[in-house]
Chain A
Amino acid sequence: MSVSGATSTPADGPDPALFALEDVRLVLEDRCILDDLSVEIADRGITVLLGASGAGKSMTLRLLNRLEVPTSGVVRFRGDDIASLDPLRLRRRVGMVFQRPAVFPGTVRENLLVAAPDAGESELVACLAAADLDASFLDRLGDELSGGQAQRMCLARTLATEPEVLLMDEPTSALDPHARHRLEETARRLVDDGRPMVWVTHDLDQADRLSDQQVVLVAGRLATGDEARTYLADASSADGDDGERRG
């Protein structure tokens, strides 16, 4: 596992970068969210974006899906400047699962059909299976699902667009430990099937369980080696103090 920031090096290995952020600055409502961030994300495995609240992790993820655009700098997806790509096609290639499951009104089937209006029964069932849900869920109402089921339904819905890569924005933060581990296992299975993933978290245990490489952000920047080590040490000690509450 490599740690960008902690080692001051980008993701190693021969793979071309899945995403590359070059001198990215993001200012929203006069607040600097990201400050000259340059980082590469490897085109393999799970890259975990780590950092304290407000470090810019989620905004970085939103830049990759073009739900935000940088104030300055360039974001590349497999070498292409995403500003030059059709945003609607890009978003189907780069699927995103949000922190809180956004369930649309209607059944699970209707939710999946929003993502893939022409999908047949077998394709919908396959999407559910990939997200660890069985076919019986298709006719369940979305608002009757538990938190974990709803989040897996959202994952299935994202998978219905057949994305090349998955962005996961703290997807387990609202889930109980059992649902969290189940979603992590699902994520690992999807990655092992060849779909790289970028996973945002501030949970160091989860980062260690999941990551093939880690990127540490501090105050909207890629952490220097010392900053990353300090952050990881501080967060680790906070985790120890707070272990019971966080389960």
Chain B
Amino acid sequence: MGTTGSAVDSGAIGWGGLGLSLVLVAVAVGLSLWQGLRLEREILWATGRAIVQLLAVGQLLVFLVRPETPVIVAWIWVVAMVLFAAITVQRRAREVPGIVGLAVVATGASAAISMLVVFGLGVYPNVGRAVVPIAGMMVGNSIGGTVVAGRRVVGELSDRRAEIEARLALGQPSSEAAKPYVRSALRTALTSQIETTKAVGLVFMPGAMTGLILAGADPVDAVLVQAALMYLILGCVATNVVVIGLGLTRRLFTRDHRLLRLTRQST
């Protein structure tokens, strides 16, 4: 227990602590074997990949957050994060036409707005040490909402094709004809983040707050930081979801208000 106490004091767990956390990976592998899920390889691959990626990113972060590194480098990294996020969205929502371009626009717009609030209003100083992790949280947390929004919009427009074409046949423009169905899809995509925001602190302890407390910060300060981040993430997800909804509505109809044929992919 002495080891644990010193880890809490310093915020560092060392390689030994990391090794002990693998016990839970072994539990996951064991459960997969027991239940015949055949996910053992997948779990081990994900575990290995995660530590390699994190170590690589850690090395990069050392460079990005050094005081002597110009802050523009951190902002270039933010742009790269937006592009990586768009590629991730595209991989998870292949059936959504043009999703990579839309995801770049949506994630870029939400990141720009949130960064403007955080750094433009001076909530945090414009230094690499703040820019990189905050942008990472904004962009990373937007991916799930973007994927759900894209898939749900395509699903709704595909499933409700008969109703939408009946509306188009009445002379409604495509934006009007699609509105009830796109709205329903966007509500679904955003509801998940709203629920997460509501449950914070009660059901789960978010990462930034946990990290700060483990690193020895005053819990009240940690809570204030986390609350601000949650609000920013909520705004980001909302921006992403709406941009995806508007963009897909334009993308999935022709200029003469016809609904394109869509491929529905089962989840």
Which residues does A use to contact B, with CB under 8 Å?
28-29, 65-69, 87-89, 91-92, 95-96, 98, 100, 102, 104-105, 114-115, 154, 157-158, 160-161
Contacts and interface: CB of A to CB of B under 8 A. Distances in A.
Contacts of A160: 170
Interface in B75-120: none
Nearest to B173: A88
B180 A105 contact: yes
Contacts of A102: 162-163, 165-166
A112 to B, nearest CB: 10
Interface in B164-188: 165-173, 180
Nearest to B160: A102
Contacts of A92: 170-171
A88 B167 CA distance: 11
Given A67-B165, A104-B180, 11 more contacts: A67-B169, A69-B258, A89-B171, A91-B171, A98-B169, A102-B162, A102-B165, A102-B166, A104-B166, A114-B172, A158-B170
Contacts of B168: 67, 91
B251 interface: no
A68 B173 CA distance: 15
B171 A88 contact: yes
A158 B165 CA distance: 13
Contacts of A65: 169
Interface in B144-173: 162-163, 165-173
A87 B170 contact: no
Interface residues of B, number: 16
Nearest to A154: B166
Contact of A115 (B170, B256, B257, B258): B170
A91 B173 contact: no
Contacts of B163: 102, 104
19 contacts: A65-B169, A67-B165, A67-B168, A67-B258, A88-B172, A89-B171, A91-B168, A91-B169, A92-B170, A92-B171, A100-B162, A102-B165, A102-B166, A104-B167, A105-B180, A115-B170, A157-B170, A158-B169, A161-B170
B256 A87 contact: yes
Interface in B193-237: none
B41 interface: no
A65 B170 CA distance: 10
Contacts of A91: 168-171
Interface string B254-265: 001110010000
A49 to B, nearest CB: 17
A190 to B, nearest CB: 17
A88 B257 contact: yes
Given A98-B165, A105-B180, A29 B173 contact: no
B240 to A, nearest CB: 27
Nearest to A65: B169
Contacts of B162: 98, 100, 102
A68 B258 contact: yes
Contacts of A68: 258
Contacts of B169: 65, 67, 91, 95-96, 98, 158
Contacts of A28: 261
A92 B173 CA distance: 11
